[in-house]
Structure formats: C-alpha cells, structure tokens
Homo-oligomer: A and B are copies of this chain.
Amino acid sequence: MAADLVRRLLAGERRALARALTHVENQSAAGYEVLRLLYPHTGRAHTIGITGGAGAGKSTLTNALAKEYRRRGKTVGIIAVDPSSPFSRGAILGDRIRMQELTGDPGVFMRSMATRGSLGGLSETAADAVAVMDAFGKDVVLLETVGAGQDEVEVASAAQTTILVLTPGTGDDVQTMKAGIMEIADLLVVNKSDLPNTDALIAALKAHLTMSEHGAWLIPILRVVANKEQGIAQLVEQLDAHHSYLHRSGALQSERQEQARHQVVAAVQGEVLRRILRQGASLLDDLTQQVAERRTDPHSAAERLLAAVSGELS
C-alpha cells in the first residue's frame, strides 16, 4: 500500500501527496514506510525556513514568496507549523483562508500542521513533511513557523536557508537579539518597511551584525512590504544567491550532516516513546504513581521502564 502510494506520489499525483503527508503527520507505520521509500528521491528542493515574532507578517510573506517563485516557473510546497500553543487553532483557520487565494494553481501545495503537545516531536514531523514535498518534486519548500521561541528555531533548522522576519517599532529587534534567534538567520527581512522607524531598526540590525561572527556568507538585510508584494523579487534573488552559496562553499554538505544527525537522534527518541506507550503504558502509569508519591525518582523509573521494554526495543 505504501509502495503504491509512493509510486503515485512520484508520478505527481496531488492526492497521493496529501495522503502521504497525513500518514507522516500521524507518525503511523505507513508514514515511516512512505518515508523510507521516498528518501532516496529527496535532496533536490531548496528548503526555506521563515521565522519571526507574532504579527511580523510571516504568512503574508510566505504567500508573496510562493507567488513570486511561481512567476519564475518554480513549483512550491508550503508547510505552516504552529508549535506555540496546544490551544491555538489559528493555523487551521489561516490554512483555509490562504488555500482560497492559492487554489487553482497546481504548482502550489500547502499543508498546515498544528502542535502535537509536548510529547510530539514537531520538528521531527516538520522535517519529514519537508522530505515528502521534496520527493514529490517541489522546487522550493517554504517552512513557515508561528512565533519565535526555541521550538521555532528547531523547526526552522530543518531548512537549508532561514529567513528571520522583523517589523519596525515592535521591539522585536531587541527581543530577538537577546533571544539569540538572529544567530540562525541567513537573511534578515524587515517587513512592513513602509512604517516609521524602519531606518532605526535597520541601523540596529546592521550594528548587531557587525558585532556578530559571520562565515563567508554576508547576511543581507532586505526591505519588504509583503502585503503590497514590494521587495519580493529582490528577496527571491537573495534566496537564490544563498542557495548557490550553499552549493559552492560546501556548506550544504555540512549542514546536511548536522540535520541528519539531529533527525536520527529525534527519531530515536520518538521511537522509544512510541514503543513505551505501546508496550509499557501500564508500567509507565505505575511508575508515574510511584514518582508522584516520592517512592521512586524519575531516573530510577526510567531505568526500570527501559529494562522492561528492552525486548521490544531490540
């Protein structure tokens, strides 16, 4: 069944793509089989992470980028990830609204993923979804995250190129510099750059970049007004330049190594958790009770749980 699904996906069938993404998002056995079969076909897309504070206009920028890439004849996959809250259903709503705008263009495929709670491994699932879009043959995969915390940094790190979106006058600049999020950005985009204080923000960003360490890639700062589609063509040119740089410099290779290591470790941890929930659920309940009552400690409980499910683990 997975083999048939993958065959249809590789033949360009959108329904097969949709179904494969659902299997992968559900972390089902079929999803892992699909990934195993697809993986040799991945590694061709330019994957671009888009992160930044709430209200920075990431969705609008993502849509504008998708349209610009389409104008240039590239096919586009969009994965919108909302790791911020177990309560938010914003991603789903936004999805519907945005689907309307992009509907009818078979060159764009969008999927949004809401949070799966603390046990989920959202960055693992996001990376898997990127792989599926990549194998399907999308030239560009845009991975957009909500919010700007450490989880979003994790998710964005599943992409080759990372855009950090800032807006003038929100205090984003200071918060972002403090939080170390700027260190992961390959391009800085000042969105809503028709607002006052744009020059001050850009000056602050330049000053910060001057103080930071760089590699051979000089991080560009781009002025954009995403909802008027201003500055988008220049942004795409810089994205292409970064993609060329990654290939030329060998950075793509080392980034791939790092991502691969991260993904293997995340997959191990996810797999152990699934096995425990499948085979050791009642023991987990017992041990949880014992820890709550201070009759044992979490680490001793973990050792016992691992010992008990180790037959299953082998």
Interface residues in chain A, defined as those with a beta carbon under 8 Å from any beta carbon in chain B:
32, 35-36, 38-40, 42-43, 53-55, 83-88, 90, 118-119, 124, 127-128, 131, 147-152, 154, 170-171, 174-175, 178-181, 183, 253, 256-257, 259-273, 276, 284, 287-289, 291-292, 294-303, 305-307, 310-311, 313-314
- Of B149, B261, B295, B298, the contact of A149 (CB 8 Å cutoff): B149
If A269-B272, A298-B260, A306-B271 touch, whether A54 touches B288 (CB-CB below 8 Å) is: no
CA–CA, A272 and B84, complex, Å: 27
CA–CA, A272 and B270, complex, Å: 11
CA–CA, A86 and B182, complex, Å: 12
Flag if B180 contacts A292 (CB, 8 Å). no
CB neighbours of A256 from chain B (8 A): 292
The closest CB in chain B to the CB of A122 belongs to B150
CB neighbours of A53 from chain B (8 A): 175
CB neighbours of A268 from chain B (8 A): 272-273, 276, 302, 305-306
> How many copies of this chain does the complex contain?
2
Flag if A35 contacts B150 (CB, 8 Å). no
- List 11 A-B residue pairs with CB atoms under 8 Å apart, sorted by A's residue number: A32-B300, A35-B297, A39-B297, A84-B179, A84-B180, A86-B180, A118-B262, A257-B292, A260-B291, A269-B272, A269-B273
The closest CB in chain B to the CB of A285 belongs to B261
CB neighbours of A264 from chain B (8 A): 284, 287-288, 291, 298, 301-302, 305
